[in-house]
Structure 1
Amino acid sequence: MATPDDGTVLLDPNEPARRLRGEIMRLRDEATRQKELAHRRAEFWTKTDIALGFPAALLAGTAGAAGLATADARIPAALLALASAGFAAGAGFLRSDTRRRANKRARHAWAATEGRATVKLAQEHLTPQDLVELLDFRQAALSAYDSEDPQPGPSPLSG
């Protein structure tokens, strides 16, 4: 933008293209950050699922074996069974496996958004439709946390 001596404002003819490119760069950077965050969350929920599920299975097996071994082992077996039930209830309450899958879906959706934005930025000329397409990919990535099925490509709202 330039201002001549008479005070009128002259718009730079490249300003809309520059702003469009800047917005697409911002979306690409957001997608990169969100992809990495979803990856870290998926890893966390995988570890949580293992940390709760493995002890539950191990304690359940041990409790069953101890309960069948002798009559004196029934109280320790009952305690092991209670601990196993606690781990299983914790895993069910946290739904770590569901959260892991949701974050993996989101990671893939954010990666698609990031890749699409990178391809758009490699083009010499960008159009507002390019930004609309990327915003549809962003919306699909945001909804990937809630849906059961991946949402590849633009949403049905873009038509």
Structure 2
Amino acid sequence: MSVATEQAGPMPTRPAPGNAALYRLYGSDGKLLYIGICDDPVQRWHTHSRKPWWPQVVRFHVSWFPSRAAAGQAEAVAIRQERPQYNIVFNGVPYSNDRFPGARLLELAREKFEDQPFSLLDLVGELGVPYSSALVHIRRLQSEGRVVEVGKMKLRSKRPLIHFQVSEPTSAGKADRPRP
């Protein structure tokens, strides 16, 4: 169940700690431009403001969910059903010939997870990336210093759940650890 608000004026605020927003952004013609989830819509929209399509946004609709997982499930369904113009993930067949474009993994991870840690399982579940492709490409990005390992969780299985974050490039062009 969600708590919904539709606004073109004041920005939405989180109704309770732990809630996550599912938002829809619309153009002046009423066309659905983008669907996403976040913890803080104002901060997320600031990130979107660098996108070439952002000037088209004139209206938004926000629905609050009790958790990021619940919002993520609703997001996947909404994107598949409503087909927003600028979403890539979950919008039809994102990868031609069932092949994942590994060169885009960093861009997709940055867009989806911002500066939050993510795991291979997040890449698979949130972005629809095949596990084997995610593993190969995340290891390549790690060797290039473009993502860094930021933690491990011990699971019941023998494999640890490793969390990564996108690295920020330094002025010398090398990647640095993510900002706290």
Q: Which has the higher strand share?
A: 2
Larger Rg: 1
TM over 0.5: no
Q: What TM-score do you get using the length of structure 1 for normalisation?
A: 0.23
TM-score (norm: length of structure 2):
0.21
Which has the bigger relative contact order, CA under 8 A and spacing at least 6?
1
